Each structure stands twice: as structure tokens, then as C-alpha cells.
Amino acid sequence: MQPFRKHTGKVVPLDKVNVDTDQIIPKQFLKRIERTGFGEFLFYDWRFSGDGKNISDFVLHMPRYQNASILVAGKNFGCGSSREHAVWALMDFGFRVVIASSFADIFANNSLKNGLLTVRLGDEQIGEITRRAKEIDDYRLAIDLETLRVEDDRGFAATFTMDEFSRHCLLNGLDDIGLTLQHEAEIAAYEAQHPAGAEMRLIARIL
């Protein structure tokens, strides 16, 4: 996983609540068997018309937001389907941070596993960032995971929280499968007193 310590980048405001993962990456792009190359399909139905032309007033097409790496949205970002393709698409497109007032659980987990930082701020702070990103050209935020601070160079500053273990994993880009495998003895001991049930043995025999 890509470690995350600090990031400064351009902000693009989505200005929507309940952005579901079907919007982030529509289902027709889930048939690929790779982890890469999903960026071109990000927010596909909002970016492109039915005949594949740009929908020019969608924020990601606006010249002022080109090369943005921080996405700002309203509550419940990433709700719906568990598709990790949503995170792969955001990162492949160039996003390193999503700021929202809340995130769906599975999306937040998937982000953590890939090094996409999800920052929870209050609705008023989201409103302020959104306003600034709309009004100020090349509006940038600096996000520091070590100090848990978000700030611009115009006096906006906010702090966010994250559980200590998630923060530790992100800061160090830890392979958490490797971490779990360090508990091999405990897993083996658990399995010894919790053997696969009769149903599992039956499956083995029949299939």
C-alpha cells in the first residue's frame, strides 16, 4: 500500500451528498480483472453523455480543476456497493484525499487499504472549503496525517481524527496481511479449537 504522510494539492468540490459507488464507477466497468486503469471511467455517467462526449459543466471537466488531487463532498460519501474499484478509480484518476462530512464504512475501509486518505470534517468546514474552491483559482489544501491538520494558506485550518491503528498503517504503508500473518500461532490455536464444521467437510466431499 502507498504510504500517506503529507499532501498538498488542488481541491475540486463535488458539492453533493450521498455519492454512491455506482456513481463513482458504474457497473459496466467492473468486469475488468486488473486493479489498474479505472481512472478513465471515474464518475463516468456524470462526466460523459450517452454517446461518449464530455459533459462540460461537470466539475472534473472544468479547466480550473484540472489536476486536482483532493475531492470534497457532502455526507455519506461512498455509500452502496462494496466495489473497491471505486477507490482504484479515484486514485488512478489522481486523487490522494477525499474530504467529506461522513463516509460509508466499506468505502472507508477500502480507502485505507489502498492509501487513499479519507478526512472527516464538519458540514460547516466542508461548506467553507467548497466555497473557497469555487471562488479562488487554484485553491489548494495541505493535509498532514502526522498532525491531523488540514489547512490552506489563507487562514483556513481544521483538525480531523482517525483511529490510531489506521493512522499508523497509512503513515507506514503497511501490508496488513503481513501484520495478520504475524499472529499465525494464535490463528492456528483458534482453528484447533474451532475446526471446520461438518458442513465444510461435506462440501469438500461433494464438490
Partner 1 sequence: MGETGHMLPRTLFEKLWDAHVVAAPEGQSALLYIDLHLVHEVTSPQAFDGLRANGRPVRQPLRTVATVDHNIPTTPRGLPITDPIAAKQIEALQKNCREFGVPLFDMDSAEQGIVHVIGPELGITLPGMTIVCGDSHTSTHGAFGSLAFGIGTSEVEHVLATQCLPQKKPKTMQIHVTGELAEGVTAKDLALGIIGRIGTDGATGFVIEYAGDPVRALSMEGRMTLCNMSIEAGARAGLIEPDETTFAYVSGRRFAPKGKDWEAAVGYWRTLAGDPGAQFDRVIEIDAAMLAPFVTWGTNPGMVVPVSARVPELNTFAQESDRRAAEQALAYMGLDPGTPIESIAVDRVFIGSCTNSRIEDLRAAARVAKGQHVNPKVRAMVVPGSQTIKREAEQEGLHRIFLDAGFEWRESGCSMCLGMNPDILQPGERCASTSNRNFEGRQGRGGRTHLVSPMMAAAAAIAGHFTDIRNWRFQ
Interaction site with partner 1 (CB under 8 A): 16-18, 20, 22-23, 26-28, 30-35, 45, 50, 74-76, 79-85, 87, 102-106, 109-110, 113-114, 123, 163-165, 168, 176-177, 179-181, 183, 186-187, 190-191, 194, 196-204, 206-207
Alpha-carbon Rg for the chain, nearest whole angstrom, is: 20
Angstrom distance (rounded) from CA 107 to CA 128: 24
Q: Which amino acid is at 207?
A: L
Tell me which residue of 146, 168, 159 sits closest to 1, measured CA to CA.
Answer: 168
| CB of 8 or CB of 109, closer to partner 1 | 109
Cα 77 from Cα 18, distance rounded (Å): 5
Q: Which of 6, 165 has the CB closer to partner 1?
A: 165
Query: Closest separation between CB of residue 194 and partner 1, Å?
Result: 7
DSSP string, 19-60: -BHHHHS-GGGTT--SSS--GGGTTHHHHB-TTS-B-TTSGG
Q: Which CB, 154 or 201, lies closer to partner 1?
A: 201
Nearest approach, Cβ of residue 67 and partner 1 (Å): 27
Please report how close the Cβ of residue 143 comes to partner 1 at its closest, in angstroms: 22
Minimum distance of partner 1 from residue 4's CB (angstroms)? 15
CA distance 71 to 87: 12
Minimum distance, C-beta of residue 5 to partner 1, in the bound complex (Å): 19
- Shorter beta-carbon distance to partner 1: residue 17 or 60: 17
Angle 168-70-50 from CA coordinates, rounded to 5°: 125
Nearer to partner 1, 24 or 143 (CB): 24
